[in-house]
Amino acid sequence: MGWEYPATFIDDDSKWTGEANAYDEDTDTHAYNRYNETQHWLQLLFTPEMVGLAKSVSQIKIHCKENMGSSTGPELRIEIFDDDESEWVLVFEGTIPDETWTTKDIPSGPLNITGARVYQVSKNGMYTQVYLNEFMFNVVPAFKPAWAGRSNNLLGVA
C-alpha cells in the first residue's frame, strides 16, 4: 500500500530507451523517447501479464522534463489499464511541469489496474523529447461493496 513503482515495461514501437530508469528511485535518471517521435506509448506495468495481479490505485505521480522543447514542461498523455473493464482509461493529457513531482487523481476514483502508459503529445514539429525520470502509483485497499459475500438464499431468493 502507498506509493509503489511499476515492475516492468513494454515499448511496443521501440521508440523509448532506458525504460527501467523511469522506476529506479532516482530522479536524476530517465527513460526517453526519440526526438520528435511523439505518440509512441511506453507501458509501465505491475506485471507483464495484462490480466490478473491488478492493484487498486487512486492516483499516479510523475517526475519528468522536456528536453529541447518549451521551458514549461512536456505535454503528455497518461492512461491506465482498467483490469475489470479490460480497457485503457485516460488519466491526464496536458503539460506536466519540468522537474516537479506532479500527482494526478484517477478521475473515476480508484480502479483495479495492471499499469499505465505514457506518450509525448505531438508538438507541431518542435524539436523535442521527454525525459521520464520517475513514475509511481498510489495503491489503496481494494474496494469491497457492503453486500459482497451474501448469497441470494439469505435474501429468500430461490
- Residue 97: how many CB atoms within 10 A of its CB? 14
- Which single residue is written with the C-alpha cell 532506458? 18
Nearest approach, Cβ of residue 21 and Ca ion (Å): 4
- CB neighbour list of residue 97: distance below 8 Å, 6 or more residues apart: 72, 73
99: contact with Ca ion by CB under 5 A: no
Taking CB under 5 A as the rule, does residue 24 contact Ca ion?
A: yes
Which of 95, 96, 91, 88 is CA-nearest to residue 108?
91
Binding Ca ion by CB under 5 A: which of 29, 59, 67, 102?
29
Binding of Ca ion at residue 13 (CB under 5 A)? no
Least distance (Å) from Ca ion to the CB of residue 129? 13
* Dihedral (CA of 101, 132, 104, 127) sign: positive
Please tell me whether residue 102 binds Ca ion under the rule CB under 5 A. no
Positions 110 through 149 that interact with Ca ion (CB under 5 A): 133-134
Using the rule CB under 5 A, is 37 a contact of Ca ion? no
The one among 4, 11, 13, 37 contacting Ca ion by CB under 5 A: 11
Q: How far is the CB of 42 from Ca ion (least distance, A)?
A: 8
Contact residue for Ca ion among 9, 16, 32, 119 (CB under 5 A): 16
Return the bridge partners of 102, or none.
Answer: 62
92 or 135: CB nearest Ca ion: 135
Q: Does 8 bind Ca ion (CB under 5 A)?
A: no
| Contact by Cβ (8 Å): 48, 62 | no
Task: Specify the residue, 15 or 55, whose C-beta has the smaller distance to Ca ion.
Answer: 15
Q: Which residues bind Ca ion (CB under 5 A)?
A: 11, 16, 21, 24, 26, 29, 133-134
